[in-house]
Structure 1
């Protein structure tokens, strides 16, 4: 099961396509119930699932409004007893305005209108880490965390100041260094992972994805020419590479 936002969906879609390509004549079934999508290879009894949970921690509707509870993770009930879990979160932590799906943030008994988003991200990861240590049996479940997936909206970060986005980018960056450096969220994630006592493997895809400024849907995504998508990734493409790395980590 993949658990996370639309970047998790990117990887889930990629994996289901790759598996179907390997066994093109196999019967399959695709269903969705609430936030959970399930691709089942009925001939093999194999399910590849996606739980759309963009913060990992809970959002609860209360009298004051929608509350993002950084120390609550009731949604984790869905994740128990899976053979494999691939978690991801970050894409939504800086959302503001109409696209922000909460009105308040709560930690313990304290409710605030907002807080430093990087601190909020760190607090949520600490809650998730505690859930893993409390609920995961390594003999039954393998746990991975998809690293921070970057976006490309500022050409100055890849030494092209005239580029305002990934539009018309046709080549990846050469070499193994990204001029703009790694997103700060990478450090927050790694510091959270080292505190977990249960085994969790990091799917460290950030740098290789940073180099692929050419790999986004750009103006050819779902919103068409009126929108620019430099956050998600084309299929097949970068998420296929993520899954090759996942496969090798599994082996």
Structure 2
């Protein structure tokens, strides 16, 4: 989208010459005429994914709640940093928290996901306080829409049990159908309030919750057989968002906040 708005697109390129962007963990796009680089780092938990070896010699995945993601060294000096986490904390292994969360050499046999989320965000917050110079860098944290919200937006049941949203053409208008405010958001807000480094909070959770009409649904794949089309579980997608669509609103909010901050800096 950014590349499409410049005068000479040939002067925008990925620093490593990459052309495919689904299998790599980071990308760096150089806008040569603007002395600007836009980078993307995959760090879904903001803390490090790791592994341990048990007594039987078997490797097992863990999540180091006490260490920030390994990519942090690459972006700590950026002028603008936008963080996000939340969605991956709803997956089964994170929700159950059995022999998965690790601090130091200790792996918790059981740990509630909210407590693990709090520990991870606290680790992230400490890293920001130590490594980000607020006089040089603007820090943003974009909120998230948890899985449970999108599950409940679909008509006819949840998205993974027969629900569908391909017939939805308008947002939710009755607020009683909106989901309760996510507990993880309250944890995030508590951590942000305790920080001294300024972080602009982009809370897009509630506004996105209205948009039951914004999912890819059956339209994400056009080459389905008639048999597949009769089995909604094979193609119904109510947990992601169309582009163009809802994520553009998130970007507009980020852009507006950037303009405000830059005006304040003079």
Q: TM-score scaled by structure 2?
A: 0.76
Write the deviation string for residues 112-170 of structure 1: whole angstroms up to 9, x where unpaired.
244211211111011101111111101121110011224422248xxx56572434222
Matches within 5 A, 1:84-163: 84-96=80-92, 104-151=100-147, 152-155=150-153
Matched-pair contact (CA < 8 Å) for 1:145–1:200: yes
Which stretches in structure 2 are left out of the alignment for 5+ residues? 55-59, 260-266
CA RMSD of aligned residues (A): 2.8
Larger radius of gyration: 2
> What's 1:183 paired with?
182
More helix by share: 2
Matches within 5 A, 1:38-77: 38-64=28-54, 65-75=60-70, 76-77=72-73
3-state secondary structure, aligned to 2:255: helix
3-state secondary structure, aligned to 1:219: helix
The 1:61/1:155 distance shift into structure 2, 3 A limit, reads closer
Matches within 5 A, 1:24-43: 25-26=8-9, 27-30=11-14, 31=18, 34-43=24-33
The 1:165/1:41 distance shift into structure 2, 3 A limit, reads same
Instruction: Give the alignment partner of residue 243 of structure 1, picking from 251, 256, 260.
Output: 251
> What's 1:7 paired with?
none
Matches within 5 A, 1:151-230: 151=147, 152-155=150-153, 164-174=163-173, 179-221=178-220, 226-230=234-238
3-state secondary structure, aligned to 1:61: strand
Which stretches in structure 1 are left out of the alignment for 5+ residues? 1-16
Q: Which has the higher contact order (CA 8 A, sep 6+)?
A: 1
Aligned length: 229
Matched-pair contact (CA < 8 Å) for 1:166–1:216: yes
Q: TM-score scaled by structure 1?
A: 0.80
Matched-pair contact (CA < 8 Å) for 1:154–1:161: no
Report the Cα distance in structure 2 between the residues aligned to 1:61 and 1:50, rounded to whole angstroms. 24
